[in-house]
Amino acid sequence: MGDPALSRRGFLAASAAAGLSMTALSACGGDSDGGSSGTTTIEWWNISTTQPTKDVWAGLAKQFEAQNPDVKIKIVQLENDAYKSKMTALTASGKLPDIFHTWGGGVLKQQIDAGLVEDLTDRTKEWADGLLPVAREPYLFDDKAYGIPFDIGMIGFWYNKALFKQAGISTPPTTWSGFLDAVRKLKSAGITPLALAGKEKWPGMYYWAYLAMRTAGIDALQKASDDKDFTGEGLVQAGQHLQDLVDLQPFQKGFLGAAYSSPTGQAATVGNGKAAMELMGQWAPVVEADMGKGLGTNLGFFPFPEVEGGQGALTEVFGGGGGHALRAGAPQAAVDFLKFFASAATDTELVKKTGVLPVVPAAESALTDPNLKAVQTQLKAATGFQLYLDQAYAPAVGQEVNDSVAALIAGSKSPQQVTESITKVAKEEQ
């Protein structure tokens, strides 16, 4: 009587074991097998799962294979979040794919510290030095390059020229007090100055991060994270400047419950002309037109204003992009592919077809959209760079920044308390 049950249990155990070993096997997927006939197979892990990028990238891989008959490229595409968790698991296991997507910053630093990432400084020097400097920033550690960018962007104010005119504002503000004046003018003209997605928290964080850069200086945010101490005078002042803005009640009605990209969210509010500005990345015009009507030629861009008496400059940017890194000991073919991917011809195609900003100066002519051109001008003139905090910081710290700044905007935390909460979480994370 017991036998069938036993064998069923045996079957279950066997299938469980099979399942586990399959997971284990797939976790080893980063291996590159040098083929027997002298062909090298390179695995290329990326997150371009949406069209048209997916096809463009596959086409580029084919093109590279045609130019290098002894190299095969195996593309592994994962959706953003799946990719992040898979890479965390691979980092723990100690083996990364030959070529992999990276945002640079803290995560890449962890992988470098674990000895898993190839130092590309010398192997790419001859051609990588010509790339847009600000785009290379996220992948530089101690002046060594660990990644090659293919995209770069930044946060800034997107504004409605018609509404500015209506409120009597002739030129976009360049100082924080000028900005607050503009907000007051818009308000007295009956126009909602700013749209904000309070439900999602990260758009609010942009204000605090930029104010911290402008007040405490370009290195303050990274230094605070390294020292696990965010309570410095400059960061508290940043919160106070944000408080000054919040006190003017500049946001749309119900902003605390608003999403970013929904038919009633932040992007739609600006896109439909119901608010004059939003602080957002280079993707803002697309989302505004997608979720709302879009502003067309009425849309303008200006960099985050300077804070009077602060350490930062108008030309320092807060942003990020995308790049590729190689696993330690990756074959030469992988380096060749990075070179191919950062060539003027490839970048021109990427700019034209997938809407990224150029990282190769020669590809700039492919950029036609006036808004993206304005962003590009800022990026080219950049004198300093701070990576998006959720990529620069550990996840818990990044989330706490979002959360505390949201509380400041909602009026339940003081600038001082914001810095204390973030410090507490940073210390817990060790």
Structure tokens at 121: 């400084």
CA neighbours within 13 Å on the CB side: how many for 404?
25
Segment lying near other proteins (by CB under 8 A), choices 43-51, 236-244, 261-269, 313-321: 261-269
At 384, give phi and psi (nearest 5°).
Answer: -160, 160
Per CB under 8 A, does 92 bind other proteins? yes
Q: Does 399 bind other proteins (CB under 8 A)?
A: yes
Is residue 406 at the binding interface for other proteins, with CB under 8 A as the rule?
yes
Amino acid at 317: V
Query: Cβ of residue 376: shortest distance to other proteins, in angstroms?
Result: 33
Find out whether the peptide bond into 263 is cis, omega within 30 degrees of 0.
Answer: no
Q: Is 262 in the site for other proteins (CB under 8 A)?
A: yes
State yes or no: residue 400 binds other proteins (CB under 8 A).
Answer: yes
Place of tokens 């096809």: 55
Tell which residue, 321, 281, 275, has the closest CA to residue 301: 281
In the shown chain, the binding pattern of residues 6 to 45 toward other proteins, with x for contact by CB under 8 A and - for none, equals: x-xx--xx--x-----------------------------
Q: Half-sphere exposure of 385 toward its Cβ, with a 13 Å CA cutoff?
A: 24
Give the phi and the psi of residue 320 in degrees, each rounded to 5.
175, 175
Least Å from the CB of residue 221 to other proteins: 19
* 89 lies in the site for other proteins, by CB under 8 A: yes
| Binder of other proteins out of 131, 209, 242, 258 (CB under 8 A) | 258
- 396 touching other proteins, by CB under 8 A: yes
What pairing do the DSSP bridges indicate for beta strands 316-326 and 148-154?
antiparallel
Among 95, 199, 353, 380, binds other proteins (CB under 8 A): 199
Q: How far is the CB of 4 from other proteins (least distance, A)?
A: 7
Distance CA 114, CA 85 (A): 17
E strands, 18-67, in order: 40-46
144: how many CB neighbours lie within 10 A of its CB?
12
Angle of the 233-247 helix axis to the 395-410 helix axis, nearest 10:
40
Scanning residues 141 to 180, which ones bind other proteins (CB under 8 A)? none
Q: Which is nearer to other proteins, 12 or 24 (CB)?
A: 12
Smaller CB distance to other proteins: residue 262 or 414?
A: 262
Strands 71-77 and 40-46: parallel
Cα(199)–Cα(264) distance, rounded to whole angstroms? 12
Q: Total number of residues binding other proteins (CB under 8 A)?
A: 36
Calculate the alpha carbon distances from 204 to 101, 112, 388 in Å: 27, 31, 13
Considering the complex, state which of residue 208 and residue 255 has its C-beta at the smaller distance from other proteins: 255
Distance in Å, CB of 139 to other proteins, minimum = 23
Q: How far is the CB of 324 from other proteins (least distance, A)?
A: 23
Task: By CB under 8 A, name the one of 248, 256, 335, 344 that touches other proteins.
Answer: 256
Instruction: In angstroms, give the least distance from the CB of 261 to other proteins.
Output: 13
User: Closer CB to other proteins, residue 350 or residue 401?
Assistant: 401
Query: To the nearest whole angstrom, how small is the minimum distance from the Cβ of residue 368 to other proteins?
Result: 34
Pick the piece of the chain touching other proteins (CB under 8 A) from 146-154, 239-247, 334-342, 405-413. Answer: 405-413
Q: Does residue 293 belong to the site contacting other proteins (CB under 8 A)?
A: no
* Binding residue for other proteins, selected from 59, 254, 361, 370, defined by CB under 8 A: 254
* Residue 137 CB contacts under 8 Å (≥ 6 apart), including other chains: 104, 385, 387
Candidates 133, 273, 331, 395: give the one binding other proteins (CB under 8 A): 395
Q: Where are the beta strands (DSSP E) in 285-326?
A: 299-302, 316-326
Handedness of CA 168, 173, 175, 180 (dihedral sign): positive
Q: Which is nearer to other proteins, 59 or 257 (CB)?
A: 257
Closer residue to other proteins (CB): 62 or 253: 253
Quick check: 264 binds other proteins (CB under 8 A)?
Answer: yes
Detail the DSSP E strand segments found in 133-286. 140-141, 144-145, 148-154, 156-160, 277-280
Could you give the CA distance from residue 141 to residue 305 in angstroms, rounded to a whole number? Answer: 28
| Of residues 16 and 362, the one with the C-beta less far from other proteins | 16
Query: Looking at this protein, which amino acid is placed at residue 289?
Result: A
What the block records as the tokens of 346 is: 């490839």
CA atoms within 13 A on the CB side of 86: 23
Nearer to other proteins, 2 or 69 (CB): 2
Q: Which residues bind other proteins (CB under 8 A)?
A: 1-2, 4-6, 8-9, 12-13, 16, 88-89, 92, 198-201, 253-259, 262-264, 395-396, 399-400, 406-407, 410, 412, 428
